[in-house]
Amino acid sequence: MKIRDIADAHIPLAESCADQWASIGDDFTTVRTALESLSGFPEWTGAACGAMTQTVTATADRVGTAASSAQTVGSLLDAHCAALTTIQAAVRSTIALAESAGMTVHSDGLVTAGGGGLAGAVLDGMAAGATAILQGAMVAVRTLDAALAGTVAVGTSVEDTPTFISGDLGALADAVHLDEALAASMTPETRAAVWELATDAAQELMDRGLDPTELGVHVTEMNGELAVTIGDIDTADKVTTLVSGTGSSSLGGLRESSLLAARITNPGQATIAWHGYDAPASLPAASRNGNARRGGTELRGVQENLRTRNPDARLSIVGHSYGTRVIDEGAGDSSRALQADEIHLMGSPGMTALTADQLHLDALDGDAEVHVYRAPGDIIGAVTDNSLIHGRDPADLGWGADFINGTAPEDHSVPEKLDRWLLNGSGKDAADLAATLWGLADGDVGDEHSGYRTDEGVLEALRK
pLDDT digits (tens, 9 = 90+) for 284-338: 555 566 788 999 999 999 999 999 999 999 999 999 988 999 999 999 999 999 9
Predicted pLDDT at 197? 92
Burial class (CB in 10 A: 0-12, 13-18, 19+), 85: middle
1.20.120, 3.40.50, 2.60.120, 2.20.110: CATH of 170-463: 3.40.50
- Residue 338, pLDDT score: 97
> What pLDDT score was predicted for residue 287?
58
pLDDT < 50: residue spans in the chain: 118, 158-167, 413-446
Query: What's the pLDDT at 91?
Result: 93
